[in-house]
Structure 1
């Protein structure tokens, strides 16, 4: 399952939940005035940005950190566990200090339901 298929499955699950209002590929304006693009933006019952990195993980992590600081909304980053292992030493300290929640997965085809539950849990907290 590709990242795009994972995104489609999450959209399908979120659409079936009538309590959740969300946008796909949304632009969220930060305090700086810059508009940040997120894969999914949940606006109700909470404000939550969800990103699914598909490029260079270092760049995506930095974008998520900057976005989390600028938009003042929690950011959930769905990352393949194997990819994060390559950069864990570089980003461990940074990720402990910023408002970015990392949710790891191994096989998106088997874990999309768990990822959906993690997003819902983060939204309720």
Structure 2
């Protein structure tokens, strides 16, 4: 049975997996970390992924020449940086490339170890 949208996110939050298998370590760690700390860690991990993606997008568009939003006209450098920043934030928020999940897992495991 496939679960979509908010229901899928809620299910995944309560039943985390790693490499397609139940992540027992993360499940135990989540029980030791407050919901507020979990939310803060989720935001921090998404911000980290957005920063990484922004760096990739910036490098990807740095050599583009010509006209238009990614070309080499007056003021496009500033505009391009703002555009890539917004793209990277939206990309990370939508699931990104998977970095935020690993960063979130690491942050939660570290916090749970400190709590023990």
TM-score above 0.5, yes or no: no
TM-score, length-scaled by structure 1 = 0.29
More strand by share: 1
More helix by share: 2
Over alpha carbons, which structure has the higher Rg?
A: 2
TM-score, length-scaled by structure 2 = 0.30
